[in-house]
Every structure is written in C-alpha cells, then in structure tokens.
Amino acid sequence: MRGFLTTRATVLDWLHTLDQLGDVFFPQPMGESSFRFDKVRKHSLLAFEDFDATSTEKPFRASTCVQPPGKKLSPNNEQIFHFSKNENGEYQLTPTLDDRQRILAGVRPCDLKAIHLMDRINSDGIPDAHYLSRRQNTTIIAHDCLQPCDQHCFCDATGSLRWREGADIFLTPQPEAKLLIEALTERGEQLLADAGFTPCKNIEGRKTLAEAQRTKPFGRQFNAPLQQVIDTVSNSGESPVWDKHVERCFSCGTCNLVCPTCYCFDVQDDFNVDDPDSGQRTRSWDGCMLEAFAVVAGGHNFRPQLAARQRHRIKRKLAWLPARFGDGSFCVGCGRCGHQCTVDIDIFDIANDLLATAETKP
C-alpha cells in the first residue's frame, strides 16, 4: 500500500472536502476542556489536539472524547424497526438499516481496537445487522499517539497502543507539523487516490523516526504483564478489593456509558401519537453498574450488591470476553471510565489491587 507525506494543515483541509462522500466525524472541543466526536461542518475548527497545540490561540489539552468514536456505529435510542398496519389490517415490521456513508477521522489506536472488538462481538452468533450495516459503510482514518493523551491513559499496558487493524487510512505524526499518511485497505487507497498528497518513498524510515519520538514508558503500566493481569482477574472471585472500590461508588453507570467496549442495551416499543397503529422499537445504551440492569421478570435482581456489579464489569473486560474471543483485553486502556468517574474509581487501580492481593496470598 502507498504512503504520502504532507502537512497537518493540508490533511485537515482535505478532511473538510470529504463531506461530499458522507458525514465526516472528528474530535471537536466542547465545554472547558473536553472533546466531542462530532460531525464536521463548514466552519468547524479542526486540529490534531495532542500534537498540534501551536495552531490555535487556546492550547488544546490532550484528551479523549467523552463518548468514543465507535458509538457512532451503535447510537443511543437507535430505531431497530418500525411497524404499521397494512390494508388487510395486519401489522407489518420493517427493519431500519442505516447504510449512509460516513467517515470517522481522528480515531486513536485504543478506540480503533475497541471498534475491532465490537466488530467481533456484533458478528458473533446472530450478527447484528444494524451495527454491521453502519460498519460496512464506514471509513476509518486513525492516527498514532506519540504522547499519552491523558493522565488516565494506559493503552500500552492493555496492548492497544500499536493497534492498526480496522483502519482504512493511518496517520503517523512527523516532525515539522507533518504527517505520514498510509492507506491500509483498498477503500483507503481509493480515498487517497485523488487527494494529491506528495508520495513518501521511505515509509519505514518515517515510522522509525516517529517511534523514536514516542514517550517511554507510554502512559500508566500495570504492575505485571497483561496476561498475568487477565489470569489474576479471572481467578478473583471473592476478594476484599471488590468491596474497597465501591465504597464511594454512586452506581451511576458513567463507567459503562463512556466505555468503547460496553455494548449492552435496553429495548422499548412505542406507538406514534399521530397514528396509533404505527410505531417503532428503539434500543438505548444500558450499563451493568446500574441497579436495575439485572432485574428480571418477577422483580428478582441477580446483582443487587454494588460490589457484585463492579466485579461483573471488570470481569467482562479483563477475564470473560478475553477468554471468549481470544483477542486480548477487552479493556483497551483509553482511561475514560477513570477520567469520567467523579469519585476516581479506575479499572486500572482495581486491576493493580487485585494483582497485589493475589501476590500476598499464601
């Protein structure tokens, strides 16, 4: 596949031109110090926030978006099907499939790996047609991170820092505000064909240059190799660590709802007020930390204790799904849950605490 070398400003201008192909999404500043993965509009100010701080008056603080890019593939309150009555008075169901073209740009390696894991999840068993329809019509432009984006980041520890699979185009920061642009798929090749960027002859050399600039160690590191973390979490049934980390928890579900690999949902039917014979089924994001998550018919709750719900969440990320799919950690180390939690409960600390308790055991 081909590679090109050009300036960041040129790439950002090029992103603006891509809206002819479909909606383009890119991280954009929100509030005081946050980012929203939002649609690029004509006057949107775009910047690669963590390595392009010189280009705007207000310095960007490097940070992930509150909601990960992958959520664009399974949006909240998504319509699954709509129903109406035909001439014979029978109800007819029509599935809602979104096949519009969209481009997710400015995706970090952690979120890229998360999208790969969601591809696995949604193709497993009965494929999720709604997710896959969006995914098949989505082009992903990802970029490398040479510095940790956030003090909560631990993507290197979970093995997602060097993730490339799933990206159509991959950008690597270079000195002098330049970018190395690589097409990783046919779709990426086609997109770059008419862009007019200068071809790069020494792709490997450029990559080595970037690697030399990468912060080492990169972000937070577990106190043991990843496989040992996964083994420890898998073997931690009863542990005081689960109770310790829920003392201050509000059970608010924030950690679930900002997680790029949380995909649980709740469905609801509703009829239209202007035509009660028609309506739709929608699904909305749910979270296993919420009290009502495991309530079943008859009112029984399988996990009424907060510590049990916390253990469930951590085991999904670092034990059960890694064992089920063999694709490494389902926690991609983006640090969102720890960052967004108002009482600083962090999956990274829980994993390290479990490691420490496992070591002291006789």
Partner 1 sequence: MKPRIAFFDMASCEGCQLAILDCEDVFLHILDLVDIVEFREALSEKAPRFDVAFIEGSINREIDAERLRDIRARCTWLVSLGACACHGNVQARSNALSPAENLQRVYGPEACHVAQTDSQYWPLWAHTRVRAVHEVVKVDYHLRGCPVDRDEFLHLVKRLVAGSLPRFARQPVCVECKHNGNECVFEHGDTCMGQITWGGCDAICINGGYRCDGCRGLLPGVNLDSHRALLRERGLSDTDIDSRYRLFCSADVQPRGTRP
Which residues of the shown chain bind partner 1 in the complex (CB under 8 A)?
Answer: 30-34, 36-37, 65-67, 76-77, 247-254, 257-258, 268, 270-271, 273-274, 276, 284-285, 287, 290-292, 340, 342-343
- Nearest distance, CB of residue 81 and partner 1, angstroms: 18
Q: Measured from the CB atom, is 203 or 262 closer to partner 1?
A: 262
Instruction: Give 319's DSSP letter.
Output: I
3-class DSSP string for 202-268: CHHHHHHHHHHHCCCCCCCCCCCCHHHHHHHHHCCCCCHHHHHCCCCCCCCCHHHHCCCCCCCEEEE
Q: Measured from the CB atom, is 246 or 319 closer to partner 1?
A: 246
Handedness of CA 185, 188, 190, 192 (dihedral sign): negative
Q: Measured from the CB atom, is 112 or 258 closer to partner 1?
A: 258
3-state secondary structure (DSSP) of residue 338: helix
Q: Measured from the CB atom, is 69 or 333 closer to partner 1?
A: 69
Contact at 8 Å (CB) between 3 and 200?
A: yes
- Nearest distance, CB of residue 61 and partner 1, angstroms: 11
3-state secondary structure (DSSP) of residue 187: helix
User: What's the chain's Rg over C-alpha atoms?
Assistant: 22
- Nearest distance, CB of residue 339 and partner 1, angstroms: 9
Q: Measured from the CB atom, is 225 or 304 closer to partner 1?
A: 304
- Nearest distance, CB of residue 129 and partner 1, angstroms: 23
Q: Measured from the CB atom, is 124 or 247 closer to partner 1?
A: 247
Q: Which residues, at least 6 apart from 286, have a Cβ–Cβ distance to it below 8 Å? A: 256, 264, 265, 266, 293
Q: Measured from the CB atom, is 100 or 248 closer to partner 1?
A: 248
What would the two tokens of residue 233 be? 């979490």
- Nearest distance, CB of residue 283 and partner 1, angstroms: 12
- Nearest distance, CB of residue 322 and partner 1, angstroms: 25
3-state secondary structure (DSSP) of residue 19: helix
Nearest to 321 by CA among 253, 230, 256: 230
- Nearest distance, CB of residue 342 and partner 1, angstroms: 5
Give how far the C-alpha of residue 64 lies from the chain's centroid of Cα atoms, to the nearest Å: 10
- Nearest distance, CB of residue 246 and partner 1, angstroms: 9
Contact at 8 Å (CB) between 243 and 307?
A: yes
Give the neighbor-by-neighbor strand order of the sheet with 102-107: 34-39, 23-30, 102-107, 138-143, 169-174, 178-183, 3-7, 198-199
- Nearest distance, CB of residue 258 and partner 1, angstroms: 6
Q: Measured from the CB atom, is 46 or 161 closer to partner 1?
A: 46
Going from the C-alpha of 232 to that of each of 129, 173, 320, the distances in angstroms are 35, 36, 12
Amino acid identity at 279: G
Handedness of CA 258, 213, 188, 157 (dihedral sign): negative
Q: Which residue has the tokens 């060097």?
A: 162
Q: Measured from the CB atom, is 32 or 238 closer to partner 1?
A: 32
